[in-house]
Amino acid sequence: MPRAFLVVMDSVGIGGAPEADQFFNGDVPDTGANTLGHIIKACADGLAEEGRSGPLRIPNLMQLGMGQALALAVGDDVPSSETSGAWGAATEVSRGKDTPSGHWELAGLPVPWDWHYFPDTRPAFPKELSALVAKAAGTDGILGNCHASGTQIIEELGQRHLETGWPICYTSADSVFQIAAHEESFGLDRLLSLCEAIAPRLHEMKVGRVIARPFIGSEGKFERTSHRKDFAIPLPAPVLTDWVQRAGGHVYAVGKIGDIFSMQGIDEVVKGSDAELMKRLGHLIDTAVDSSLTFANFVEFDSLYGHRRDVSGYARHLEWFDAQIGPMINALRHDDVMLITADHGNDPTWIGTDHTRERVPVLVAGTAPQKLGLIGFKDVAALIAAHLMVDANPSS
Ligand SMILES: O=P(O)(O)O[C@H]1O[C@H](CO)[C@@H](O)[C@H]1O
Ligand SMILES: [Mn+2]
Ligand SMILES: [Mn+2]
């Protein structure tokens, strides 16, 4: 019986998005942003030498057709070398370049509304919202109230947070309301309850996610922990995970997939670092039941390297991922497919610290070599549904 493994390399875009000029980092449009393309170039130019060196080595992804997908996405001549899988480049239609928009559309549901974004002003949040958050936190106010990078804002405001007890609230070019608070002095459970309590109000405003961003340490040494939790807006319709579940299949979530889909259509979830998740994926390739879907997200490309504009780190993580995924592809059963894709871009050579609007690769291992060509994000859901022989629209 067939099984499917859908693996999202979070933010590994390949450029070429037709509407990139309508998405921005600060005042600069995303036109020309190309996460993988620019990393390959930086490596070849000797500009990504920290903890690695030389040209980017991702032979397993290249064998599946990553080079072809990259050329197709940006309109270059496509290399004629043989691939071992099917490959294509996917274009998003949702009006967002964030994780929920990308994942929902990959799962068959383009986002049917415009997200609410907070302006890049100080304050960034309306008075009533700041008051609501302070009241829910039991504090006299909030800190931050601006667009920020999460690692920079805890450096800046961590000490004041310890002194005042006020939560640090910030946003980005994404439709997010993020709260950073110290795990020990503020309390992790208190932070999670605060995010959960205010999430319905933010969701009503069409803010995609409230994100808890716990950290530890003391002045000059603040550090985020892996206890991040996203409270995402509920999905307005069934998606791939529901289709599989309704057809009697088991759905395993690996990483933040459970949060992104608010556990919709998901039977079990495991979270952890990318290294832990990779082990879990390997285990599921050995043990996942027939007719199941394993849906995995590897977030560290985005959270540790893309937003931090760390080109060497991003290249190291790509090389690590490639080396790990090779043996897993070889371990697939004859009737499995593994589809490797991404949810948006986050070009580490680009200005700013936000995502970049890009096309994404679609690489399919376990199927005959073929060109999928330029497809849509939601074709990914259709490909998986067809492989698992489940109805892609069971309610109609
Ligand atoms: O800078 P940090 O806190 O990592 O935040 C980033 O992570 C958020 C969610 O993926 C994005 O919206 C971006 O703001
Ligand atoms: Mn993402
Ligand atoms: Mn991100």
- Name the residue of 115, 307, 308, 356 whose CB sits within 8 Å of the most ligand 1 atoms, as the mutation to test its pocket: 307
- Ligand 1 atom at minimal distance to the Cα of residue 211: 9
Which atom number of ligand 1 is nearest to the Cα of residue 148?
Answer: 1
Q: Is 367 in the pocket of ligand 1 (CB under 6 A)?
A: no
Answer yes or no: is the C-beta of 324 below 6 A from any ligand 1 atom: no
Burial of 211 (0-12, 13-18, 19+ CB in 10 A): buried
Which-ligand-closest: CA of 302? 3
Q: Looking at the DSSP assignment, which residues form a beta bridge with residue 143?
A: 168
Q: Is 91 close to ligand 1, i.e. is its CB under 6 Å away?
A: no
Answer yes or no: are the C-beta atoms of 337 and 84 closer than 8 Å.
no
Residue 394: its pLDDT value, please?
A: 65
Mean pLDDT rounded to a whole number for the chain:
97
The C-alpha angle 51, 56, 61, rounded to 5 degrees, equals 120
Instruction: Give 354 Cα–ligand 1 centroid separation in angstroms.
Output: 8
56 residue type, one letter: L
CA nearest neighbour of 170 among 101, 123, 111: 123
Closest alpha carbon to 23 in 105, 100, 122, 98? 98
**Residue 179, phi then psi, degrees to nearest 5:** -125, 120
Query: Would you give the DSSP letter of residue 46?
Result: T
Q: pLDDT band for position 112 (50/70/90)?
A: confident
How far, in Å, from the CA of 356 to the mean position of ligand 3?
Answer: 10
pLDDT recorded at residue 393: 76
Q: Is 355 annotated as a binding residue?
A: yes
Q: Does the annotation list 322 as a binding residue?
A: no
Secondary structure class of 23 (helix, strand, coil): coil
Half-sphere exposure of 250 (CA within 13 A, CB side): 12
Domains of the chain from N-terminus onward: 3-112+236-388 (3.40.720.10), 127-232 (3.30.70.1250)
Report the 10 Å Cβ neighbour count for 160. 14
CB of residue 307 inside a 6 A radius of ligand 1: yes
**pLDDT of 197 above 60:** yes
- Ion ligand 2 neighbours (CB, 5 A) are 10, 99, 302, 343
Using the predicted structure, report yes or no on whether residue 337 has a pLDDT greater than 60: yes
Tell me the CA–centroid distance for residue 179 and ligand 3, in Å. 15
Entry field: residues in the chain: 396
- Examine the pLDDT at 117 and tell me if it is beyond 90: yes
Give dist(CA 372, CA 375) in Å, integer: 7
Is the beta carbon of 150 within 6 A of some atom in ligand 1?
yes
Q: Decide: 104 and 295 in contact? Cβ < 8 Å.
A: no
> 176-182 and 168-171 as β-strands: parallel, antiparallel, unpaired?
antiparallel
Q: Which two tokens stand for residue 4?
A: 């499917």
In angstroms, rounded to a whole number, what is the distance separating the alpha carbons of residues 370 and 215?
46
User: pLDDT for 262-315, tens place per residue?
Assistant: 999 999 999 999 999 999 999 999 999 999 999 999 999 999 999 999 999 999
Does residue 368 register a pLDDT over 90? no
So what's the ipTM on this one? 0.96
> CA-CA distance, 91 to 379, in Å (whole number)?
10
Distance CA 335, CA 278 (A): 21
**234: Cα within 13 Å, side-chain hemisphere:** 9
214-251 tens-digit pLDDT: 999 999 999 999 899 999 999 999 999 999 999 999 99
Chain centroid to Cα 144, Å, comes to 24
- 302 is an annotated ligand-binding site residue: yes
Q: Write the pLDDT tens digit of every residue in 14-67.
A: 999 999 999 999 999 999 999 999 999 999 999 999 999 999 999 999 999 999
- Which atom from ligand 1 is nearest to the alpha carbon of 174? 12
H helix and E strand count, the chain: 13, 16
H or E segment to which residue 215 belongs: strand 209-216
Whether 379 has a pLDDT exceeding 50, the answer reads yes
Q: Over 60: is that where the pLDDT of 149 sits?
A: yes
CA pair distance 338, 332, nearest whole angstrom: 8
Residue 306 identity: G
Q: Which runs of consecutive H residues, i.e. helices, occur in the chain?
A: 35-44, 59-64, 66-74, 99-106, 127-137, 150-164, 188-204, 240-246, 257-260, 274-287, 300, 311-330, 378-388
For the chain, give the percent of residues with pLDDT over 90.
97
Q: Which atom of ligand 1 sits closest to the CA of residue 176?
A: 12
Query: Given this model, what pLDDT does residue 396 score?
Result: 45
